[in-house]
């Protein structure tokens, strides 16, 4: 993660990279009064690059040795990749998209290269890039015929997996597969003032590993309902066009209920609580069911930072409300329940939540009933405790995410395989 100047004398190698008003260049040249390109940037594993707020990569030779690769320009002022030569050594797909301009000297064509952002020749873009070291690229005043028109479409194709245990406030079997849902892609149109126009979230309900009725919802923490012009939704197999939907009533934050009955949503018949995609070679296993939420905002009301993944609170409903008590919700650790969620179980069973301490859905051992993983995730099979399947899970979650951040890359094989 780089938000300032990174100066590379010879060669730079990376896998995942976020530039937020950051620059990757070589030394400053007193002869030509410019930041020189890095001689070689080489990546032999598949890469994921996100560039935000006037960031730049400047290189003589940019080499990608594996695939698939994703390079995405995100929010803020346009970012830039300025390279003399691009070398792709693998036949897999390399995608370059979003709020980004590529200045490129060579003209090599690659069948596996998909570029949907603005492109120009080397030194031909009019865009000026400025970071903490001043102006990194001055821009060509002659104009840029490929300059994107507003609204700019920004896409975040990172997959996020949300996995839940429904037995809160007790551990239960702690297999974290009672509900598994993914956020597959987020896209938004950005106006010239930097605000968001239409925001679209694409997700998939992947698995239901519970024998009781469960619901799934999303609480948006970065904006208010008053900033919304229109809300629409699509559910696979039910409608082919986006239809108007409503935020849930009596909520301080905007809340969308994806489904009230996850088993039915996945295609089970009414009152059929058979597991879906948590048992190996089970006849009830099937493809996940896709959903889409589209939100149009008032111009100038919502910024891209208001839609950050940390402000997207996916949660499950493990018991519906009745005449006496509010519904029971389970959220990712750290997120408070919605206004309709029951807090009377805080501190019961294994739970050690406290509204006063702003501590939510964490146990006395600092374990969580809901987690989010920033990639595809092989969830545990039914009845297999996540602590046994992923031996580094405990140290990750109890350290607040500081240790074993890649815990989800190593398991004992007792996971559901699509």
Domain coordinates of the chain in residue numbers? 5-148, 154-196+203-221+249-290+301-409
| Model pLDDT, residue 417 | 84
How far does CA 187 lie from the centroid of its chain? 11
Q: What is the pLDDT of residue 116?
A: 86
What would the pLDDT profile of 366-412 be if each residue is shown by its tens digit? 999 999 998 889 999 999 999 999 999 999 999 888 899 889 999 99
Whether the model pTM is above 0.75: no
pLDDT at 148: 55
Q: Dihedral (C-alpha) 189, 194, 196, 200: value to the nearest 10 degrees? A: 40
Q: Which residues pair with 85 in a beta bridge?
A: 61
Q: If DSSP states are collapsed to H, E and C, what string results for 279-341?
A: CCCCCCCCCCEEEEEEEEECCCCCCHHHHCHHHEEEEEEEECCCCCCCEEEEECCCCCCCCCE
Which residues, given as ranges, of the chain have pLDDT below 70?
A: 140-150, 237-241
What does the DSSP assignment read for 364-379? Answer: TTS-BSEEEESS---P
pLDDT of residue 238: 56
Residue 162 · residue 180 · CB < 8 Å? yes
Residue 241 has a pLDDT of 65
Q: What is the pLDDT of residue 173?
A: 94
């Amino acid at each position: 993660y780089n938000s300032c100047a990174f100066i590379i004398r010879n060669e730079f190698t990376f896998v995942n990279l976020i530039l937020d008003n950051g620059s990757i260049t070589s030394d400053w040249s007193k002869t030509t009064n410019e930041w020189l390109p890095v001689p070689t940037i080489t990546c032999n594993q598949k890469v994921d690059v996100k560039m935000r707020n006037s960031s730049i990569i400047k290189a003589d030779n940019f080499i990608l040795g594996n695939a698939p690769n994703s390079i995405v320009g995100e929010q803020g002022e346009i970012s830039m990749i300025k390279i003399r030569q691009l070398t792709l050594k693998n036949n897999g797909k390399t995608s370059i998209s979003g709020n980004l301009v590529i200045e490129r000297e060579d003209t090599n064509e690659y069948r596996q290269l998909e570029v949907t952002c603005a492109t120009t020749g080397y030194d031909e873009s009019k865009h000026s890039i400025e970071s903490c070291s001043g102006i990194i690229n001055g821009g060509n005043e002659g104009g840029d015929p490929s300059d994107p028109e507003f609204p700019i479409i920004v896409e975040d194709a990172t997959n996020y997996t949300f996995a839940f245990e429904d037995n809160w406030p007790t551990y239960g079997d702690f297999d974290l597969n009672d509900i598994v849902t993914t956020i597959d892609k987020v896209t938004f149109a950005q106006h010239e003032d930097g605000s968001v126009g239409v925001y679209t979230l694409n997700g998939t309900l992947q698995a239901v590993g519970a024998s009781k009725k469960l619901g799934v919802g999303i609480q948006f923490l970065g904006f208010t309902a008053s900033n919304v012009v229109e809300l629409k939704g699509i559910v696979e197999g039910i409608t082919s066009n986006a239809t108007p939907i409503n935020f849930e009533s009596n909520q301080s934050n905007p809340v969308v209920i994806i489904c009230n009955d996850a088993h039915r949503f996945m295609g089970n018949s009414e009152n059929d609580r058979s597991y879906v995609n948590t048992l190996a070679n089970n006849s009830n296993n099937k493809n996940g069911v896709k959903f889409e939420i589209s939100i149009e905002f008032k111009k100038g009301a919502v910024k891209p930072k208001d839609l950050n993944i940390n402000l997207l609170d996916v949660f499950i409903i493990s018991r519906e409300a009745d005449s006496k008590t509010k519904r029971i919700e389970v959220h990712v650790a750290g997120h408070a329940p919605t206004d309709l969620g029951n807090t009377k179980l805080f501190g019961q069973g294994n739970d050690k939540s406290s509204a006063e301490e702003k501590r939510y859905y964490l146990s006395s051992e600092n374990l969580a009933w809901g987690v989010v993983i920033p990639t595809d995730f092989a969830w545990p099979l039914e009845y297999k405790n996540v602590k046994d399947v992923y031996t580094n899970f405990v140290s990750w979650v109890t350290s607040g995410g500081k240790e074993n951040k890649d815990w989800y890359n190593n398991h004992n094989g007792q996971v559901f395989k699509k």
